[in-house]
Amino acid sequence: MRDNDFSKYILDICTKSKKASRKLANLATNERNTVLYRIAAALRDKADFVIGENKKDLAVADKDGVTKAIRDRLLLNRERINGMASSVEDIARMEDPIGRIESMSIRPSGIRVGQMRVPIGVIAVIFESRPNVTTDIAALALKSGNAAILRGGRESINSNIALYSVIKEALNECSVPEDAVVLIDRTEHEAVTQLLKMNSYIDIVIPRGGESLIKMVTAESLIPVIKHDKGVCHTFIDKSASPEMAVDISVNAKFQRPGVCNAMETLLIHNDFSQKVRVLKALKEKGVELRGCERTIKLLPAEVGPASEQDWGDEYLDLILSVKIVDSMEEAIDHIHKYGSNHSEAIVTSDYGNAERFLREVDSSAVFVNSSTRFHDGGEFGLGAEIGISTQKLHARGAMGLLGLTCLKYVIYGSGQVRN
């Protein structure tokens, strides 16, 4: 396609999508739920077809010699497709937020003013690798009455097209407009460039993926962006911390699943905490590579390597941890604000005042006292399915559930009032 053709291709998608969004917004709860159950059933029915198409992506991945982790993220099998179907059913069972009127009040003028929860409209999601995002986002969008435009990565294009054909068939069988979900089946970058200009059609764009994807979308988009950026998460062990908690929480935050955004990347320890070596040894025993400040190295010279300036800002997503000894909670908080990504930070402490101050002063989307940063998750927070973890402050901050795909409009009930 030439540039001009891309612009027509994207305009066509956006026009259909916006039209579908109006119809979708007016469907009843059970109409939206019915199509979700239909999609789940169709996924199970057509698992073999999807797995067959997924094999094509895996073959390309093998030829390209991708890492084991990337191949694993790409892989679909019967068990995973079953999991995707169950997740769609879970979303169908969630309470419908749409149409609810919140905080109604009567004003001196006599008008009654409330706020009605409504769909946002058209949502574009740009994501990488994992094909399950296709069904998750489609389901969350349909549940919340939004039209979705999906743009997956080149590496999973066959899987995504297959999943989308299953979704589309289900939409056609129900009373839902078939353009309620649209997949961009062109993998060229130009398709994204054109898409990001369509702010008259698309209400929000959500990039889910690596730093370069998010930077590109932020720079190019005329549409408001909800970022899901990296997590450089910290745990601070205060001098009054329970040694057992300090060990358990540090090990869990680093070791339980190191490859995710809410895993700890830097450990800050108060110099007056007596069990510093015990915590470091516990991490070392789990196979964690430690990179420390000078004081950390002095504690365990044989087991701790030096941390460079770059280490403090790195998201390792691996069994590597940077460690710094600090003289005060203020120093810890300053370090977090200087090097962190405002994602998830924890304090381990027995001091009431420090716990409250840490909660208040640390400017992150989730701040934990005496618990692991690994809890920063839509499921663990009780939001149900999660669109992602937003790392910006506008609209949705931190774990973003179904409500993140809705907004509030004012509804005013009058009886002839005019303004003086």
Find the part of the chain contacting a copy of itself (CB under 8 A) among 72-80, 197-205, 268-276, 279-287.
Answer: 197-205
Of 52, 83, 99, 313, the one binding a copy of itself by CB under 8 A: 99
Pairing of strands 112-119, 388-390: unpaired
Applying CB under 8 A, the site for a copy of itself has a residue count of 71
Nearer to a copy of itself, 129 or 252 (CB): 252
By the rule CB under 8 A, 4 interacts with a copy of itself: no
Question: Contact 47/81 with Cβ under 8 angstroms?
Answer: yes
Question: Contact 100/116 with Cβ under 8 angstroms?
Answer: yes
By the rule CB under 8 A, 212 interacts with a copy of itself: no
Considering only residues 129 through 188, tell me which ones interact with a copy of itself, judged by CB under 8 A. none
Considering only residues 230 through 259, tell me which ones interact with a copy of itself, judged by CB under 8 A. 242, 244-245, 248-249, 251-253, 256
Considering only residues 332 through 361, tell me which ones interact with a copy of itself, judged by CB under 8 A. 337, 359-361
DSSP calls for 144-191: TT-EEEEE--GGGHHHHHHHHHHHHHHHHHTTS-GGGEEE----SHHH
In 183-260, where does DSSP find H-type helix?
A: 189-195, 211-220, 243-255
By the rule CB under 8 A, 285 interacts with a copy of itself: no
Nearer to a copy of itself, 134 or 365 (CB): 365
Closest alpha carbon to 371 in 270, 213, 245: 245
Question: Contact 346/371 with Cβ under 8 angstroms?
Answer: yes
By the rule CB under 8 A, 22 interacts with a copy of itself: yes
CA angle 124, 154, 13 (to 5 degrees): 35
**Could you give the CA distance from residue 124 to residue 111 in angstroms, rounded to a whole number?**
36
CA angle 302, 305, 307 (to 5 degrees): 155
Of 109, 172, 271, 328, the one binding a copy of itself by CB under 8 A: 109
Considering only residues 24 through 53, tell me which ones interact with a copy of itself, judged by CB under 8 A. 25-26
Considering only residues 351 through 410, tell me which ones interact with a copy of itself, judged by CB under 8 A. 359-361, 363-372, 374-376, 380-382, 392-395, 397-399, 407-410
Nearer to a copy of itself, 287 or 382 (CB): 382
Find the part of the chain contacting a copy of itself (CB under 8 A) among 72-80, 224-232, 283-291, 312-320.
Answer: 224-232
What residue has token string 């996924």?
43
By the rule CB under 8 A, 77 interacts with a copy of itself: no
